[in-house]
Amino acid sequence: MASGYDLLRDKFQTVQWHKLVWNSWCVPKHQFMGWFIAREALMLKDKLYALGIAADDLCLLCGAGIESHSHLFQTCPYSRKVLSLFDSLAGTTTPDDLLSWIAARKFSDLKTGVLLCAAMALYYHIWMQRNRVRIEGILLRPEILKEVIMKES
């Protein structure tokens, strides 16, 4: 007889991103942030505005687009400048969805690990910069944020 938990949970629910986020290469705080991003669980302004908590839904980093997961981590002009740091590591132009791009490639384990670490660090620091703007009103130039990321990674 199945336990109550087994009856309530979806036994067939699988996600494709778990091996990308939860890997042995990345720093735990970056993995934790990657988990939120992969699940689109961050409380960004699009969600807060829809709930009536935020006055607007404009991106805190660029001030132009609607602050959503896809905007903040893929299409925001500020984030794109920071993500261009990834270009030199990957040897290509930064794709829109880094994790899916890495998963689709057949890199060596070492290169895959390095690229995952870089992507997670970039996502983490974009999120932290967004919060710095929200709390302190300070927006670092993308070049300075790149330096911070390089020192930490």
Position 67 scores a pLDDT of 96
Q: Cβ distance 120 to 30 under 8 Å? A: yes
Burial profile 80-98: b = 16 or more Cβ within 10 angstroms, e = fewer? ebbbebbeebbeeebbeeb
The stretches in the chain having pLDDT less than 50 are 1
Position 152 scores a pLDDT of 73
Position 105 scores a pLDDT of 79
Position 107 scores a pLDDT of 81
Pair of tokens at residue 138: 């300070």
Q: Cβ distance 20 to 102 under 8 Å? A: yes
Q: What is the model's pTM?
A: 0.82
Position 110 scores a pLDDT of 86
